[in-house]
Structure 1
């Protein structure tokens, strides 16, 4: 086999004169998780990180929830405030096998927009590959659950209901989706997915942020 196969067993702020959301490359989800974990390890609140970087709290929250892609100037400020070399934040983000496989039940759970108003479970389906253009997730939405707030993000998104029924708000438009129904849309318009039914809903969600 020529391909390498890896089994899974194991918008705007003010950082500089440049746009803070200009692409810094690499895997946005992994980068976001590293920044959040470094901050938590240092027992630093996001407000303290904002004060140390000169970036806004709301923009940093979007970074940690992989809703915007930080520019290199912004990453320099974040790394300096966290007291960590920039190389530690970005190391290995461009690495990865040509092919990876994640078996059923071997996804990696991520926190996204953690709050009492969001009880969606996000499970990464491609966490074994560090460098990737797409971010596929399995969303598990409990009965009468979901995210209360409509939020935007960089890039594009694809949704497909795997089981159950999901409701979707996109700006002022509202949709009810059944098993097998799909949506493809620009993430820049505020949106949310939720579940008004009495059964658990599972939704395949794929993010794409162009480099």
Structure 2
């Protein structure tokens, strides 16, 4: 899965992909385990081989706000903390049992120094992260909850039912009760 993911960008050679794979280590997370917790330094990136992760923060009210859900076949990190080397303000937690391929920041730095292909690759990843963030922001501002839910169902139908109601509702910016009503309206 990760080899296909890396090849899909048409930037990396087979040798470069093998270098990446050799630097990675497999990590298992059980449901509820944290990839990273608020206040920690983020020095690694994970490729999600299986399972689902959620990113959330807790404002002063203490209520957890899920702002990102990441599915298999994606890279995941506490992106701002990874770039700035400052402690993270977010938590990344397994919603289900996960298998991750984890690569350390210092190994990524080695890769980017070894080949311009890696610089191009990580530039593309950064651009995609920005586009996804902008898309989510526009979706939140322009569309009603039903449309946001429908988009999620369309893009990740196999995983939506695995996400606990309270996390999914928070991600959609609605109450669990409102989400229950939406689910009854939508037959899938």
With the length of structure 1 as denominator, give the TM-score of the two structures: 0.26
Higher relative contact order, structure no. (Cα contacts within 8 Å, ≥ 6 residues apart): 2
Of Structure 1 and Structure 2, which has the larger fraction of its residues in helix?
A: 2
Of Structure 1 and Structure 2, which has the larger fraction of its residues in strand?
A: 1
With the length of structure 2 as denominator, give the TM-score of the two structures: 0.28
